[in-house]
Amino acid sequence: MPPPLKERPSSLLDAAPRSRRDSRYALLEDIDAADRRRSTAVGIVLTIGVWLLCLFLFNLLITHLDHQHTAGVGEVKRPKPSFDIELQPEEFLLPQKPQPPPQQFVETNPDAPENIPDKTNNMGAQNQQAAQEKPDPTGKSDRAATEGKKDWESNQIVSGQLRQPQIQLPPAPPPLPEIKESQAVTETTPAQREQNPLSGDQKIQGDSATGVGMGAHKLPENAKNITPDAIEPIKGLPDAPLLVGRPQVTQPKIDPQRPQPRPRVAQNVRPAVLAENKVGTQNVGISGFDAKWNSYSQYLQKLIDTVQIQFDALNERSRVWPPTGTKITVKFRLNSQGEIAEIIEAEGNGGSQATSICRSSIADRAPYGKWTDDMIAMLGESQELTFTFYYGTP
């Protein structure tokens, strides 16, 4: 038998169109891919073009607005590039001069006369020059020599009290022992002076140029017109002192065996713990400092005196007294209105009551008065101060 024939397409016509259709589809796919690539390129080009156009228009708008804003203004010159050279200050190149120390407040002696010192770094409530009663030939100190506590710094030169002490009458002396008549001393009253009244007739004494109308008349001794109607003389001694019209002054009897206490003169200064200062000054006079006056020192001295008076008054009313050697330190801020703006701290070894008294001594009498313009220029709007209170000898 002949071998079986392979299957062949039913017709050649069926195979040919299928291949043409496949090629047509492939051609269309190629055309679509090329169109897509071309569209993408055109989109990118248009996008870049639109952005460039927008930037150009924006630049034109900014330039137009800038011309409108700078209209009428001259041409602005661009600064040339430059640089600065900062030289080292002379104070670092040359040896520095020592700065003068700050002024120190001292409490001057109000009993000393005012005298402006030649040169001093002290300031006080008055102009004063250092002096002392017994001069020191080799002394060149700015204060008088004082005896006090060793290793102690004090800005006071004298000690006293500000409050005037109450005058206390001395107690009545006990009765004196009885004196016998033989030992009695008789007290004589002062003798009365003789006084003779003048007569009512006019008598002219002296020589006359013509010698007419003159008569000799001698006035009696101790003549006086006692009263208008007095005609009787007052008997007495011619040389006795005239006591008419004088009140009789009585003086207390002095007993040599019981002398009265001598009155104490109070100085108008605060109590002080003086420092021992062996080196004095050559000037002779009342003890004093070298100090110059300024408004701040005068203000501060009044503030300190006011606090001292209040401190003494509060302690007198207190029933509990801290032990000797108690020390309280109060730090506070004083403003330009004279007010206590803040009590920063108060510490010490005297307990809460002593600390409260010290705080009240400062705050109770505020405000202390407004500052002057020169004080504000020197101190600013406020100043921090520290007061230290001592009970007894520190």
The contacts of residue 367 (CB under 8 Å, 6+ apart) are: 337, 338, 339, 340
Beta carbons of 117 and 292 less than 8 angstroms apart: yes
Longest dimension (CA), the chain: 230
Q: Which SS3 state, helix, strand or coil, does residue 97 take? A: coil
pLDDT at 64: 72
275-304 pLDDT tens trace: 999 999 999 999 999 999 999 999 999 999
CB contact at 8 A, 269 and 112: no
Range of weakest confidence among 20-24, 131-135, 236-240: 20-24
Q: What architecture is the 294-394 domain classified under in CATH?
A: 2-Layer Sandwich (3.30)
Q: Which residue has the higher pLDDT, 36 or 96?
A: 36
Query: Tens digit of pLDDT for each residue in 265-274?
Result: 445 889 888 9
In this predicted model, which residue has the larger pLDDT, 123 or 40? 123
Q: Is the pLDDT of residue 252 over 90?
A: no
- Residue 195, classed as helix, strand or coil, is strand
Q: What is the pLDDT of residue 329?
A: 95
Q: Which residue has the tokens 């001395």?
A: 170
299-323 pLDDT tens trace: 999 999 999 999 999 999 988 888 8
**What residue segments make up the domains of the chain, in order of their start?**
102-162+267-292, 294-394
**Predicted pLDDT of residue 38:** 76
